[in-house]
A and B are shown apart, each in its own frame.
Chain A
């Protein structure tokens, strides 16, 4: 019914182009992931590393597919001429061209003020604003730190990031990650107490709401537990300057040293859970992390001539 105005050939071509593009992105990502040397990943059993990498690749593929499917649903909206796939293929370059030519400053300021700083939420409830800002800020900081650390460890092999006494190891890998994780943890704890203990009337908790928050909590707490085990068990990479990993260090104080023998297993569980969380995003309420900034930008930045 919807594709009535386009020929079957055109429709198939659009679909094939989009899914080939998707496949190419997944393949490129997989190649990058598999080619990295991972010399500073301290799991003894390389099979665990392999299992983790396979999960990462699969999760990222599912994440991208989920996002793509959601965006294709948007493309079924009013004004559709042709297939949703064709519409998306046409729209993306059009929007990028507009933003690059005329809208970079505007798009950036809208993004920072409304999507990152959440100015409107601040006006309505400081507690919720702080809670959300901590979770979002912590999540984004962790993501950025992950990229920086992976790049400097496995691609440029930056010594201060590798050596136990290196400034980057102490301040970025140890302190930076702990700070970002702590922000997220505090935000998530406020959210959990609000949702499960205080239960204000406006909060409605259904399975997707509970799963999202508990999943995030499990991943963040899991990271600190893993670090605590690493420090307590004196695992390589956790042998000096423990206090920079301030929260991991605190966890290590209540972790028996003998748990160090399970470090690889806990590392795998944490890694797999983190990957699965990424795969879960497009199918959960967490998808608003992607959809909300896009909707805000589309509303406030794009003129009518860049018709959606």
Chain B
């Protein structure tokens, strides 16, 4: 009989499984388990109870006295599939009255599933191979990573931070670097930084995937390798500040990298940096943007990192722009459906969730849906297009670009 190896579950996570009061507060707001599917096993409570039942059956008192209970393979597979239907948005952490840090729990649960040979899902394998072989999840050659910068190289001087030390290292991230629909995020970020007179550079083609996808799918060891590689590059570049425009990269570099190595530079998300530039008067936004905008809080920026004010501060500082809030905002914001590898493995589910979020935005009467994460952007844009919504999807860097560069 195969016994589950629970030595990959955190001690704190094991405590938290016991600490769950089964109250169900998490079930109604869970975007995948409660709202999009109404499947108990996908909800935080469902996953906690099922996994606990499995390992207690193998390690609890009864198991000590009478022997471990065998868990049918199909039940383990079902739990695995359901565990990967979670976007790790962290809404359950916000609402849990027992203060369970569910974000850590789900990431750790996936690490445990991988360690037990139950995961990753086949759908994630291609992405994982791509990251391991090409340093990006999009099966694109390394030489194309800095291609986006060609569009701005005439107006903006972007330093090669590995050759010419820059004060600020702009960590572009794979999606903004490779996805033709998101490239504007990188372009506008670079142009805005230049406009504010920031001494900045990038790692060019040397920049590697931050490893977020690997971490969120439970591949800790592969993620560690990516992290160490990037940390080594940071050491060579020696910036004072690392600025990321991807919320996923930000979470990974800020929260996860320090667990494997020392990052000497402070890491901030571009919204924090832009808010500071506006505050200090270095960045002037003097072009009017006549629009009503609503802001979607990316989970990795909001619930995972507590950044809610800065993006709003930036939007409110734009002349002519009116900011309206969705009913569910800040730490109660609905997820876009893309996180945790859901968009890759369960695209229909992801679209269902993103459509619900787009409907939230439509109810505000806004004509612009703004976010600050390439994954949220992709997901919400797809839902807007599929739905035929009149909303215009924009990244915050694009809106700032409109306000200070006039395009």
Contacts and interface: CB of A to CB of B under 8 A. Distances in A.
Say whether A and B bind each other.
Answer: yes
Contacts of A283: 61
Interface in B37-63: 40, 45, 55-56, 59-61
Nearest to B27: A202
A299 B97 CA distance: 14
B98 A292 contact: yes
Given A295-B12, A299-B101, A288 B21 contact: yes
A294 B45 contact: no
Interface string B1-32: 00001111111111110111111110110000
B225 interface: no
A77 B13 contact: yes
A44 interface: no
A299 B13 CA distance: 10
A76 B99 CA distance: 22
Given A202-B27, A204-B45, A299-B99, A77 B19 contact: no
Interface in B88-108: 95-101, 108
Interface stretch (A117-125, A159-167, A181-189, A252-260): A117-125
A27 interface: no
Interface string A104-125: 0000000000100010110011
Given A73-B55, A204-B40, A291 B15 contact: yes
Contact of A295 (B16, B24, B40): B16
B12 A298 contact: yes
Contacts of B22: 204, 209, 285, 288
B129 interface: no
Interface in A79-124: 79-80, 114, 118, 120-121, 124
A1 interface: yes
Nearest to A209: B22
B28 A201 contact: yes
Contacts of B157: none
B192 to A, nearest CB: 37
A144 interface: no
Nearest to A285: B22
Interface of A: 1-2, 65-66, 69-70, 72-80, 114, 118, 120-121, 124-125, 128, 201-204, 209, 283, 285, 287-288, 291-292, 294-296, 298-300, 308
Q: Which of A75, A118, A120 has the largest number of chain B CB atoms within 10 A? A: A120
A4 B22 CA distance: 36
Contacts of B60: 69-70, 73
B11 A74 contact: yes
A202 B61 contact: no
15 contacts: A77-B6, A77-B9, A78-B7, A118-B97, A120-B97, A201-B27, A203-B24, A204-B27, A209-B22, A285-B21, A288-B22, A295-B18, A295-B99, A296-B99, A308-B11
Contacts of A298: 12, 15
A203 B11 CA distance: 28
B392 interface: no
Contacts of B9: 77-78
Contact of B99 (A114, A209, A308): A114
B64 interface: yes
B28 A77 contact: no
Given A1-B5, A77-B12, A295-B16, 13 more contacts: A66-B61, A72-B59, A73-B56, A73-B60, A74-B11, A120-B99, A283-B61, A288-B18, A291-B19, A299-B101, A300-B99, A308-B10, A308-B11
Chain A at the B interface: SS class: helix
B50 to A, nearest CB: 12
Interface in B58-86: 59-61, 64
A77 B12 CA distance: 8
A145 to B, nearest CB: 25
Given A202-B27, A288-B21, A288-B98, A78 B15 contact: no
Contacts of B40: 204
Nearest to B96: A120
Contacts of A202: 23-25, 27-28
A134 B172 CA distance: 53
Contact of A69 (B14, B64, B98): B64
A129 to B, nearest CB: 8
B6 to A, nearest CB: 5
Nearest to B45: A204
A295 B19 contact: yes
A285 to B, nearest CB: 5
Contact of B18 (A114, A203, A209, A287): A287
Contacts of A294: 15, 19
A290 to B, nearest CB: 8
Interface string B274-294: 000000000000000000000
A1 B9 CA distance: 16
Given A201-B28, A288-B20, A292-B21, A73 B99 contact: no
Given A74-B15, A294-B15, A204 B97 contact: no
A17 to B, nearest CB: 17
Contacts of B101: 299
A161 B190 CA distance: 79
